[in-house]
Structure 1
């Protein structure tokens, strides 16, 4: 038999599923620390180096063509069906729905809108930065390449950087960014890194992206993820504004004025007792009660009658027959003729 003090792992799981009574006082909000700023600068330099290597048609472009002619989807056709489904983990629509469902539950549980606002900010930031780079450089993909050995830049394409890869880094990295404990942050960071790495290599396997597209997609996703602490003050102001708007709408169109609850004065648990009047107001209350009682009309009561038992009561019988009168019938008292 389990004692009251023993807490099992299942108890911890159910405790995590319950809604907290109030918003946690100390929610870990990442800051733009020096370490994060140095990492952001290094990845930005890597991003610019990849763009420069592709624009100048360097060795990286030659490597792109070698991988394309290798055709990995023909070398390992047995995993083609699985990777067709695995690459969905980098599509913006399905992943946004999955992550939003999880973060919506967390927002409800912790009485805060921050998880959903962080997700919305990350998706908006990713669409603006990656979308602008895609349509600004206009690179064609491997299936639409025209000149062997060229970088295929500014020809109306939209695959540089890889949107699947950047979205996988950003969307799954949000889970690590919003983790509540350092241990969970480490595990989720490793999981999101492996997922984003697999999505990027899958696009190269399927032939939909150059290898340099995937490298730039990883850098773009990390840059957006590391830049989120700069938007935390705006997210906090937006959350406060939304809660204030909710309170105003609730006061205007929602519930009425709540009735005051009766006070507990002790006694048995859960037993409500009326509040005793103050000493100074007790005489006035008694006078008012007495005056109200004197204004009432006197009640009239019947005189008391002697009680008789059931056997002494006289039965009440109707005066006359209960049958309706009939003109064709003959009374029993008259004599009738003898029957033949």
Structure 2
């Protein structure tokens, strides 16, 4: 042991461990813990969060979710901006939420550069990903991520991660008020439960959007906020599918993987599940190198998007 008065001590020790034989069970428990409903409260002292995501729609939703937990949020739209903000001498982030798949620089590369520059001062880096396979979750942790949350991101997931990786205290689930005195601490806001639609839309009209997700988005930011997200999605995806269609016609199937990945992640975030599931299935098939029938399945993707475009104004404007 090396000890310097007024500085600190450095010491070493050796322990013998056995190799875990139940890796699948451990990973499943972590997944189950994320899915388990838990009470959510505001953090008493606002965690400083850096949110890294190149997609404006995902940014808007995640910022609202983190804000409702009482976080102070900075946003970076790519890996280079994430490195710049995270390594700023004035930065005091408690957690970095890092999107994995971004153009020019992916999330793992950005994380590695942040760790290289900050060393032990690097805050916990949590992968935010639309990858859904167990192997992907394992790979991100092996590549250096401290934790991960799956898209579409839920309030409970963000809350659990922040509790796990910060020492910041949170307000109790129920805050007693002192008699005759206005409590200084705000009452915690419960996680909004999906509100029922007053007058359900016809099945053929509402099927393009999960109305429970729509109601959650309305509760998160209001009717106008939710409607704007779907307007943004139409514009974003129109361009995305035009690019992908040209690649499909040229039989450059592997090159549409980023397009499908973005469609999948944002589609699930907005509850456009048919489109998202189709993109997810097509992405998986192409990754496996199975190219038979890709054109027909891409046509199905286009059909689901046309269905969404023709129905979402009525769905989002319904009260």
Looking at CA atoms only, which structure, 1 or 2, has the larger radius of gyration? 1
The structure whose residues are more often strand, as a share, is: 2
Q: Work out whether the TM-score is over 0.5.
A: no
The structure whose residues are more often helix, as a share, is: 1
TM-score (norm 2): 0.22
TM-score (norm 1): 0.21
